[in-house]
Amino acid sequence: MGNEMDTPQTLDEMAAALRSGQCSAAQLIDQALGRAQEHRHLNAFLSLDPEGAQQAAAKADEELASGHDRGPLHGVPVAIKDNICTQGMPTTCASQFLDNFAPPYDATAVQRLRDAGAVIIGKTNLDEFAMGSSNENSSYGPVLNPLDTSRVPGGSSGGSAAAVAAGIVPLSLGSDTGGSVRQPAALCGVVGVKPTYGRVSRNGLVAFGSSLDQIGPFATTVKGAAGVLQAIAGGDPMDATCPDQPMDNWAAECEKPVGPIRVGLPVEYTADLTDEARAALLGPLEAMDDVELVEVALPHTRFAIAAYYVLASAEASANLARFDGIRYGVRVAEPESDLQDVYVASRTAGFGPEVKRRIMLGTFALSAGYYEAYYGKAQQARAAIGSDFDKAFEQVDVIASLTSPTTAFELDARTQDPLEMYLSDIFTVPSSLAGLPAISVPAGADGKGLPWGIQVIAPHWEEGSMFQFATRIESHVASAGSLP
């Protein structure tokens, strides 16, 4: 395959190289596994599957040689966040509770990737049960940002973002509940997508907040992310929240010329930005032709973080009740212990501090006498936030903001202040509450050379518009030479 500089890096490059005979799937997989070992100091992977990956690569090479082409993902290495079920491979959710758990089935998104010919090389690290914004809550240690190992990669899908940013794989899957794909994508300088709620099946995704969770891709390019979403999206009878909605060819949408477009800038998202952050957002947008920037109002944004942490924690409290030390997972109580002792001892040993914090918060919010005051009010705030977006989209085609208010912060900088950590997702949580599709695209660097991300939010089911404008940002930033 030649030296490292000649190695294909993006999905398009790998697909072309496989079909031209420049390389084989087996070579791509060996290279990806080798890079994973070279970068193991990043702690991006919790497990690798060299034998399974090499077998799948051999099959891909045989199929491609015989003319059986499954599409652009065929023979390409991918990584999967370790809260998405993979048959016979560990799915630990980065928790001691599931340390030895291997599911008996694939998540729908994973099966669709396999059907498209993608080759899974391993499972990536995350904040425990996807609860966190820095990947420092993993029971197996934090992930380090490949661009600066003294800093966090973002969370909760930090391992999947780092695996792409380090060049180990061109594509990976994460999950996004309140920003857990978009925020680490921004902090690691890659592309990350949260699709419309219901666009991708949640079957096989270990539940955190069921009304918010969505599986989404990371990639080195917008077109690559569009290609992955194309493969995993679509209705699923195993998920009642996943209807069979029409889909465009999103990778093709990325290549279409875009005419004049009205881009909304929420005043609530820009009011408190530093001058450097404001320039990172407005610089690319103001420099593009045929882009009309329109100030829009999302007045209920101020309730978003509070509403999110009530709703998501309440759902986590219910969803994590199944982890009881009885059916599967850790069980630490003595055989003569009564049932209550088994529950308490197993959950105390199995769950980390942040998971316990959210279970307690959610249980309190759902308890008698507090339900209406907290959970009920949070639902009202959520509805108001969704209404704000509906009104904004009457004026504009898409909405743009920074993905995160800061670039990657240092390890341990926010671990002692949960509120400061939660505010890392202040720009991503509102669109999650509204169920809207959103993407983070790299957009230049700060004074330390760390990447900013621009978030593009589109109306429900309009991923095509989102990908089109995100590609435009990507092209402008690349031509300006402002990537780190």
Q: Is 180 a catalytic residue?
A: yes
Quickly list H helices, 172-242.
182-188, 222-232
Q: Where are the alpha helices (DSSP H) in 351-428?
A: 353-366, 371, 377-392, 418-422
E runs forming strands in 299-432: 398-402
Which residue is associated with the tokens 């339900």? 371
Residues 147 and 188 sit within 8 Å (Cβ to Cβ): yes
Distance CA 36, CA 144 (A): 13
Tokens of 139: 């029971």
Residue 37 vs residues 54, 147, 163: alpha-carbon distances, Å = 15, 17, 11
Half-sphere exposure of 265 (CA within 13 A, CB side): 16
| Active-site option among 134, 157, 172, 180 | 180
Task: Identify whether 81 is a catalytic site residue.
Answer: yes
Determine the residue type at 195: P
In the annotation, is 211 catalytic?
no
User: Which of 192, 184, 257, 218 lies closest to 475 in space, CA to CA?
Assistant: 257
Assess contact for 175 and 193: CB atoms under 8 A.
no
DSSP state of 231: H
Q: Which of 127, 125, 133 is nearest to 160 (CA)?
A: 125
- Rounded Cα distance between 357 and 379, Å, is 21
Residue in 156, 175, 313, 440 annotated catalytic = 156
Radius of gyration of the chain (CA): 21
Q: Are 185 and 453 in contact (CB under 8 A)?
A: yes
The span from the CA of 132 to the CA of 426, in Å, is: 13
Identified catalytic residue from 81, 123, 194, 223: 81
Any bridge partners for residue 441, and if so which? 454
Q: For 362, what's the count of Cα atoms within 13 Å in the CB-facing half-sphere? A: 22
Cis peptide before 337 (omega within 30 of 0): no
Contact in structure between 122 and 48 (CB atoms under 8 Å): yes
Please list the active-site residues: 81, 156, 180
